[in-house]
Amino acid sequence: MSDVVTMDDLTNKEIVSILDDAERLVPVAKGDVPLPLLEGKVLANMFFENSTRTRMSFEAAMKRLGGSVLNFTSVGTSVAKGETLFDTMQMVDGYADVAAIRHPQQGAAQYSADAVGIPILNAGDGAGNHPTQTMLDLFTIREAHGTLEGLNVVLVGDLRYGRTVHSLSHALVRFGATLTLVSPESLRMPEEIVSDLREHGADVTETVNLDAALPDADVIYMTRIQKERFPDDDEYSKVAGIYMLDSSDMASAKNGMIVMHPLPRVSELHPSLDSTENARYFQQAFNGVPTRMALLCRCLGVKVPKKVK
């Protein structure tokens, strides 16, 4: 069994090994080199919540490696008739070799992993974790900076409900990052996560001021204020659009600073930023394909060759 539900399911050594595998798989992810490592294998893409990048990049990853995909959404399936998550996952256990699951409820991925025998990849569980996103984020950071060690990373926006930053902050701290957490008061990173980061020796600063944090950053990781996670619209309106970057903000950035975002964006990244050398969010989204290829291979016990050509 090799589930990936949180980043705690991977050691630092495994993380680096998966990133190395993903790097070699880039030509396969682009469709330039055929490599049917997962021929005959079936991925169940179990999406109980909306997704563009995660669902499509899992599908692209599996298909580029010669495997096939069963796509499940909560619309048009027996979820509408009241079928439980437990029962739904029993079907998947019989139909597929591995499953990626996205669910609005925190803990649903672990629940699924406990309910079935096939490996489960958490593709985002409510405000919980999003470890496969973290793997592609780490890939993107290493691609830009040549290392994961000792970087100054600024996480911005919805740090309360944002599962991407929950998983990413844990992983970055394990590689010695200094973290600056920029959010409005109401969307601060949950106290238990901040305490945990500090217990692991992390240098963590919390602030509401993005302008002050920008000049020292190696990475700015913007996130969307997630309207769908707010209990009411008034609370959302108070903080919507609070942080925005455009190309003129890059004048105060260090050489080589990159701007990342898990996407989708709303107003936090102005399109003028897209053509700057700092913008990495579309490359980041592509990186989901080789990274998820490497994760699928790991879960299915398939070795990625040392040379891919």
Residue for token pair 């109980």: 48
Q: How far apart are CA 72 and CA 286, in angstroms?
A: 22
Task: Using the minimum distance from each CB to ligand CP, give the nearer residue, 37 or 262.
Answer: 262
If the CB atoms of residues 187 and 304 are measured against ligand CP, the closer one turns out to be 187
Largest CA distance in the chain: 55
**Cβ of residue 212: shortest distance to ligand CP, in angstroms?**
27
Give the containing element (helix H, strand E) for 42: strand 42-47
- Comparing C-alpha atoms, which of 106, 44, 51 is closest to residue 71? 44
Q: Which is nearer to ligand CP, 124 or 157 (CB)?
A: 124
Pick the closer one to ligand CP by CB: 1 or 75.
Answer: 75
- In angstroms and rounded to an integer, the radius of gyration of the C-alpha atoms of the chain is 19
Closest alpha carbon to 49 in 81, 84, 73: 73
Q: From the CB of 51, what's the least distance to ligand CP, in Å?
A: 3
At its nearest, how many Å lie between ligand CP and the CB of residue 47?
8
- How many other β-carbons are positioned within 10 Å of the β-carbon of residue 148? 20
Residue ranges binding ligand CP (CB under 6 A): 51-54, 124, 133, 262-263
- Least gap, CB of 205 to ligand CP (angstroms): 25
Nearest distance in Å: CB 32, ligand CP: 25
Q: What's the closest the beta carbon of residue 227 comes to ligand CP, in angstroms?
A: 14
Could you tell me if 249 and 210 are in contact, meaning their C-beta atoms sit under 8 angstroms apart?
no
Closest separation between CB of residue 178 and ligand CP, Å? 24
Q: How far is CA 144 from CA 53, 245, 260, 291, 296, in A?
A: 21, 20, 11, 15, 24
Distance of alpha carbon 22 from its chain centroid, rounded? 15
Nearer to ligand CP, 219 or 304 (CB): 219
Q: Report the residue number, 53 or 188, with the smaller CB distance to ligand CP.
A: 53
State whether residue 45 is helix, strand or coil: strand
Beta bridge pairs of residue 134: none
Helices and strands (DSSP H and E) totals, the chain: 11, 9
Pairing of strands 152-156, 219-222: parallel
Nearer to ligand CP, 61 or 204 (CB): 61
Q: Nearest approach, Cβ of 240 to ligand CP (angstroms)?
A: 18
Record the tokens describing residue 78, joined without a space.
Answer: 């027996």
Place of tokens 């080199």: 33
Of 133 and 169, CB closest to ligand CP: 133
